[in-house]
Each structure stands twice: as C-alpha cells, then as structure tokens.
Amino acid sequence: MRTIEVGNKKIGEGNPTYIVAEAGVNHNGDIELAKRHIREAHLAGADAIKFQIYKAEKLVTQSAPIYWKVGNDEGKTQYEVFSKIHNFPIEFYRACIEYANEIGITFFCTPFDLEAVDVMEKIGVKLYKVASGDITYHQLLKKIAQTDKPIILSTGASTIGEIEEAVNIIEKEGNNQIILLHCTLAYPTPQKDINLNMIPILARLFQQYPIGLSDHTFDPFTPALAVMLGAKIIEKHFTVDKNLEGSSDHKLGVDPFQMKQLVESVRLAEKSLGQELKRADEAEHPALLMARRSVVSAKNIKKGTKITKEMLTCKRPGTGIPPKFLEILIGRSPKKDILEDTTLTWEMF
C-alpha cells in the first residue's frame, strides 16, 4: 500500500487514521462561520476540514430534482438549493486556508467544476476530493490529476469497473497519489446500507492505494467500525450547530461533541486492532503462568514410589510440569518425599 503524504501527516498502513470533517457549504456564505467550523473541527481532533466549491449553473440544470432526505429541501430542485450558497469569494477561501494553517489543521475542498480547480490552485490547497457523483466526470478527474496533488476519490453508487476507469484516468496523468473511499450515496445512509464489508474488498482489489470511508450515517461511531475493517481515512459530515438553516448538511453532520466522540472511538479502534501475530502479549504475562495449570500431587508420595495416574491431578499455577506431560510421569519415581497438593517440577524426578 502506497503512503500518501499530506503536509506533515501520512495516510496509509502503519499511520493514524486520517480524519476529515466534511463541512460542505455549512459556512452559509459567512467567513466567520467558516472559521468557526475550522476551529471546532480542529478542537475535536480532526486532521482536516473540507468545504465544497461550486456554481449552481455549472453543476445542475434548473429542473434537476433533489435526491437527499435531510433538511427542508423537499419539493425543491437541486438548482434552488445550490444557488442559495454558491458565492463564497476566493478571498474567503484564502482567509480559510490561512486560518487553518495558523491553528494547525489542513483545509481543502471538493471542486465541482473545472474553474473551481483553478480557484483551489490559487489558494494553494494540499489535496483534492472528488465527490462520488463525479467519478465518471473524466474531464474533472484529469484536470485535478494534473495538479500532481493527492486525490481522495469517493466511490458511492459506482461499479468496480467505473472505479478502475477513474483510477486509470488519474494514473495516466502521472498521478498515483490516490485514496479511495467506500461510500453509500444516500443522504442519510441507513445503517443497514452502509455495507462496510466493501472496505476489505476494495483494499484487495486496489492494493496499492489506501482505502477509507465517506460516511453518511447519523451515527458517530460508524467510522470506528470501518477502521476495524481496514479504513485508513474517514470523512464525516460536520456542522457546528445542527439547528442552523441555509444548508441541509447541517442536519446530516455530526456536531463538535459528536466529532470528538468519533475521533476518540477511531483512536480506540486503532489501539484495539493490535498485531496479526498470535502469541502471549506483554499484558498477558502475569496471567500466562498463574492462569494455566501444572501437574500436582493428588496425595502424599513417598520417595522411590512409582507414580500412578491416581497420584496426579492438574491445578493452577502453571509454574510446574505442564499437563500435556502428565502421562510421561506415570511409572517414574520421585527423588524425595512429595506432599499432597505440591506443584511438580522435573527436578523432583
């Protein structure tokens, strides 16, 4: 598996899970609210925060229906929803990335059109995200790949063949800094449809690239389950306040308290994974001898007496002759008297 470097952090095998707070357009067009999202994501322990950059007229037709089931967008078109918050000026993005750099969190965006890539290049993002819906937008993939920066590619609602095509498009531009995210493209995603078993499958099919999860469930603990299955990066929708209006993502995202829970549960999952080697760990050493058994005298045994099976039993601790050697002792004679309930050792015979 290739290790992808983003700033001073690494994504891949042997590195802490990279956690992205997906803030969408939850800034509501307000630079101070944007900075609040950046700050709260950092305080909760996220490694990066991501916004989305688009122009409604370049993204959807005016009649395209919505497909999500959160917020108050029922009956509206995608154009109506997206056009409410699509005029975040480049100066605001510059302020965001400067503020993020100042406090120590990575800031980047999902560009939804070719011109948005140019904006991201002007402000100097360290990486890009491609939304699931654009996995077949090869022109966008090609342009992003040409920046020679890491690309996080969501795979919601796609086939393995479509993922392969997208990866090939990026690789042909000389860019092999690819991260694939398993995703279910439903807002929100019912827990029964998250299908986390796809994570190890993607890891097997695309062994050279880190695999992660873009999570649209409401539960802040789903990402920890993904880490247990091999996810190296997590993306989760994030808002500073679920009661805010403006963007439907406020209702979908976890809040700062839940983001902190998410981060803590992911770190717990990492600690719990351990190593792929079955042996007595250091933590088990005190119990290793005390919880196992040894051959023990079931009665008093005189010196020189031939041992019979009836004279032996097996009890804790495991500091003496292991039970698997009990049969070998039968017929042997002790060199000295042995009292009942004595842990037997080889030196006694």
The closest of 225, 220, 173, 169 to 200, measured between CA atoms, is 225
* Residue 125: CB atoms within 10 Å: 21
What pLDDT, on the 0 to 100 scale, is given for residue 33?
A: 96
Q: Which CATH code of 3.90.1150.10, 3.30.450.370, 3.90.1210.10, 3.50.50.60 fits the domain covering 282-348?
A: 3.90.1210.10
The closest of 84, 82, 88, 146 to 119, measured between CA atoms, is 88
Collapsed DSSP state (helix, strand, coil) of residue 109 = strand
Q: What is the pLDDT of residues 248-306, one digit of tens each?
A: 788 889 999 999 999 999 999 999 998 888 888 888 988 988 999 999 999 999 999 99
Under-50 pLDDT residues of the chain:
none
What pLDDT, on the 0 to 100 scale, is given for residue 281?
A: 86
- Measure the CA–CA gap between 228 and 328, rounded to whole angstroms: 45
Residue 53 token pair: 């950059």
If you compute the radius of gyration of the chain from its CA atoms, what whole number of angstroms results? 30
Residue 52 token pair: 């989305």
Per-domain boundaries in the chain? 4-273, 282-348
What pLDDT, on the 0 to 100 scale, is given for residue 69?
A: 81
Residue identified by tokens 């902190």 is 260
- Measure the CA–CA gap between 193 and 184, rounded to whole angstroms: 7
What pLDDT, on the 0 to 100 scale, is given for residue 277?
A: 86
Domain 4-273 falls in which CATH fold? TIM Barrel (3.20.20)
Do domains 4-273 and 282-348 share one topology? The answer is no
| Residue 312 host element (H or E) | strand 312-315
- The count of C-alpha atoms lying within 13 angstroms of the C-alpha of 136, restricted to the half-sphere facing its C-beta, is 8
**SS3 of 265-288:** HHHHHHHHHCCCCCCCCHHHHHHH
- Measure the CA–CA gap between 79 and 322, rounded to whole angstroms: 75
Residue 118 token pair: 């140019």
- Measure the CA–CA gap between 336 and 332, rounded to whole angstroms: 12
* Residue 200: CB atoms within 10 Å: 14
Helix axes 114-123, 138-145, angle to 10 degrees: 20
- Measure the CA–CA gap between 49 and 264, rounded to whole angstroms: 17
| Residue 217 · residue 194 · CB < 8 Å | yes
Distance of CA 307 to the CA centre of its chain: 59
What pLDDT, on the 0 to 100 scale, is given for residue 328?
A: 96
